[in-house]
Amino acid sequence: MDIKQMVKQDQEVIKLHNKQLVLEVIRKHRPISRAEISKATKMSATSIGRIVNELSGEGLVKETSLTSTGVGRKAIKLDIEPGGRYSIGVDIQKKRILIGVMDFSEKLVLKEQVVHTAEEAAPEATAALIAQTVRQCLEDRGIERSKVAGIGVGTPGVIDHAGGIVLLSATLGWRNIPLSAMLFEATGFNTVIDNDLKVKILGEYLFGSTKGLDKTVLINVGTGIGASLIINGEIFRGGSNSAGELGHTTLDPNGNLCSCGKRGCLQTYIEESALLAEARRIKPIEDIMQLFEAARAQETWAMEIMHRTSLYIGITINNIVCLYNPDTVIISGDLVENYGEILELIQEQCRTVIWEQFRDSLKVIASELAGQAIVMGAGALALQLDKQP
């Protein structure tokens, strides 16, 4: 390819790039005037005018009413049109699927939870169930299919996100399931999938408790355990998108035997079933909420379990921080959602179990989005589908 051809191709690319840039600036700084966009993008007023007209013609951008700029002058500002574009976020877990419709302002306008039993979690049935729910959601809100950028999915397991394949999900009992293709077939929408915790931290980074903080680890503790990392604004994936498999890190070399055959795996101490087993040495409780209630009622045995759990989570945070070197840790998952008191216990442990070099600068906080983080992260992933060639 010679320089002339390159230049011609470059011009096309630059045009598209400029349009996306303007849209991005409007999304981030809305409402914003044409002059401000011109300043931010260093593009000419003429170019901005043309691009805004295009975006407006496509129904993605609208003018707001005149607003005072504080010194008496009034300017027409531009905002995005929330109804201009939609995406679908899907969070598939063992017993339920959460589906959300996100508008162009990245607000969830609709959320639908579907319960499925073990049999219904068969991949084909799951795809059909999602397709049916998505169809219903769009109908209910009167959203045209042409306005939907695509579907984003977060689900537990080892995910080939580039190929759209669930390589292995112990939680769902799936192996080598081409979920992206199946959902495309069932719905007609382009679909992007990823590991649920990687989608979750993306949600927190874009919308939640660590909005804009780009050196953040998320630790999930509940029926399962895992971690994910955003570093310099990117999801850290490791060699095969399996980074953050916290459950089988070794907490205690001489500790509990794990179902995996190893000794001392973290999950044998802090995941829900481990807490239940501990509690039942004392009391035949039926579910984990009874443990939390007992701890709230200051029952010594229950407080001891929560104390040890917080210590082990603290130690886990130390190990993660030494290896990943983040500045913020989000605690998320069923444990902190149902027993928020654990956060303070963990923070207290961190004062002694985090290595001094990292201790003072590290923030340990709870998730803000809680149950919505995966759906929102997945919705944001799906909105990105528009930008792909």
Q: Is 315 in the site for its own copies (CB under 8 A)?
A: yes
Does position 353 interact with its own copies (CB under 8 A)? The reply is yes
Give the residue with the Cβ less far from its own copies, 177 or 183. 177
Instruction: Write down the H helix ranges in the chain.
Output: 3-29, 34-41, 45-57, 123-141, 179-187, 196-207, 267-270, 272-280, 288-296, 300-324, 334-338, 342-353, 356-359, 373-383
DSSP state for residue 314 in the 8-state scheme: H
Q: Are 133 and 116 in contact (CB under 8 A)?
A: no
CB of 144 to its own copies, least distance (A): 36
* Integer CA distances (angstroms), 331 to 43, 110, 197, 210, 342, in order: 42, 26, 12, 11, 10
Q: Which stretch binds its own copies (CB under 8 A): 124-132, 230-238, 339-347, 365-373?
A: 230-238
Single out the segment in contact with its own copies by CB under 8 A; choices: 112-120, 144-152, 198-206, 261-269. 261-269
- Binding residue for its own copies (CB under 8 A) from 63, 79, 106, 327? 327
Can you tell me the distance from the alpha carbon of 91 to that of 370, in angstroms, rounded to the nearest whole number? 13
**Contact call for residue 40 and its own copies (CB under 8 A):** no
Q: What would the x/- binding string for its own copies be over residues 44 to 73, using CB under 8 A?
A: x-----------------------------
Closest separation in Å from C-beta 58 to its own copies:
24
- Among 326, 333, 377, 379, contact with its own copies (rule: CB under 8 A): 326
Q: Quick one: 139 or 356, whose CB is closer to its own copies?
A: 356
- CB neighbour burial string for 205-226, b if at least 16 within 10 angstroms, e if fewer: bbbbbbeebeebbbbbbbbbbb
> What phi and psi, each to the nearest 5 degrees, are found at residue 235?
-70, 130
Task: Give Dmax over CA atoms of the chain in angstroms.
Answer: 79
Residue with tokens 């005018």: 49
Rule CB under 8 A: choose which of 158, 181, 276, 282 binds its own copies. Answer: 158
Tokens 């799951």, residue located:
126
**118 lies in the binding site for its own copies (CB under 8 A):** no
**CA torsion angle for 362, 363, 366, 372 (degrees, to 10)?**
-90
**Considering beta carbons, is residue 335 or 353 the nearer one to its own copies?**
353
| 322 lies in the site for its own copies, by CB under 8 A | yes
Q: How far is the CB of 231 from its own copies (least distance, A)?
A: 7
Q: How far is the CB of 333 from its own copies (least distance, A)?
A: 17
The reply to whether 318 sits near its own copies by the rule CB under 8 A is yes
**Contacting range for its own copies; rule: CB under 8 A; set: 33-41, 55-63, 65-73, 314-322:** 314-322
Q: Which among 77-85, 234-242, 291-299, 367-375 is the span making contact with its own copies, rule CB under 8 A?
A: 234-242
Q: Please name which of 334, 387, 374 lies closest in space to residue 102, comparing C-alpha atoms.
A: 374
Least Å from the CB of residue 258 to its own copies: 9
Residues 165-224 that bind its own copies (CB under 8 A): 168, 215
- Please report which helix (H) or strand (E) contains residue 372, including its range: none
Tell me the site size for its own copies, rule CB under 8 A.
Answer: 56
3 belongs to the binding site for its own copies (CB under 8 A): yes
**164 Cβ contact list (under 8 Å, min separation 6):** 178, 179, 180, 181, 191, 192, 193
Which phi and psi angles does 344 have, rounded to 5°? Answer: -65, -40
In the complex, the residues that contact its own copies under the rule CB under 8 A are 1-3, 6-7, 10-11, 14, 42, 44, 158, 168, 215, 227, 231, 236-246, 248-254, 260-263, 265, 311-312, 315, 318-320, 322-327, 352-353, 355-358
